[in-house]
Structure 1
């Protein structure tokens, strides 16, 4: 009986997930994945206009799972100023984002999830972070934009303090 109940519950969950995932068209799905990629690849390549284009005018960033504190809501330009003030201080970064899923969609809004691995290097030292992103997106003038990004860490290796060293190297206070 328990197995039957669990199987039925799993079927209901799968059906509801599938229904919400199927309600978005292939073009929108591809555009959402492109938006997510623009944030990661744009940051690695220091293509700040590309990153800015992926964000709504106001964005909430939630890195509390890693750094503590509270989520921040700010203009996208402030996010770009912050990221461009420390990411160039690394010799190399590589943010790989995969396993994209659109978990909710309703008209001009969607929620997507993806897994990530982020490698940050200075010389022979590295900090590698792995985890999960959740993105709230809104379609604005026909283009999907991220309005909220929640990062949940799962595993890290190396030296997290490299972030402060990168900021110093980029000429900014740590």
Structure 2
């Protein structure tokens, strides 16, 4: 793709919007229980690679299944807030394939003995993207945690530990 043509600019804007929507749709899903915005970020078949945070293997699934994955992973937290960087690096591989990298500070909030706690993870997201009939969508997401701050019990809660 040429950097000077109008289609490049339109695609670049669409990718920026998609990457911002990814994080905001997670927050919206957690707040409302409606995960449809997040589901809509993905291709019909997608891969979620959260192994650098949770271990295990990447998961390939139908996009409708990602809603349960997100809901279950965040169930222990009362709120989640993605602050995605407004600079997203996009590499267009072709007119229908791209890769975008973005950083986000993701705050997770949970109560402990009646006091709200915060655990924040600085993340680098790498999104493999595909241009579909619906527009640009995420075919694969890789979550790479860079730094943790706040109450590190949040990390243990994210990994499945539950308070008795």
TM range (shorter): 0.7 to 0.9
1:153-168 equivalence runs, <5 A:
153-157=145-149, 158=151, 159=153, 160-163=155-158, 164=160
Give CA-to-partner distance per residue, 1:36-72, whole Å, 9 cap, x none: 2222101101141111111011111111211222111
Q: Which position in structure 1 is the counterpart of 2:97?
A: 109
1:69-148 equivalence runs, <5 A:
69-98=56-85, 99-123=87-111, 124-148=116-140
Cα distance, 1:22–1:51 mapped onto 2, change above 3 Å: same
Cα distance, 1:26–1:151 mapped onto 2, change above 3 Å: same
Cα distance, 1:30–1:117 mapped onto 2, change above 3 Å: same
Q: Distance in 2 between matches of 1:59 and 1:142?
A: 15
CA shift, 1:88, in A, is 4.8
**Number of matched pairs:** 148
Q: Distance in 1 between matches of 2:94 and 2:17?
A: 19
Structure 1 stretch displaced more, 48-57 or 30-39:
30-39
Q: TM-score, normalised by structure 2?
A: 0.80
Q: Which position in structure 2 is the counterpart of 1:22?
A: 3
Where 1:117 maps in the other structure, the secondary structure is: strand
- 5+ residue gaps, structure 1: 1-19, 170-174
Structure 1 stretch displaced more, 45-54 or 132-141:
45-54
Larger radius of gyration: 1
More helix by percentage = 1
RMSD over equivalenced CA pairs, Å: 2.1
Where 1:107 maps in the other structure, the secondary structure is: coil
Q: TM-score, normalised by structure 1?
A: 0.76
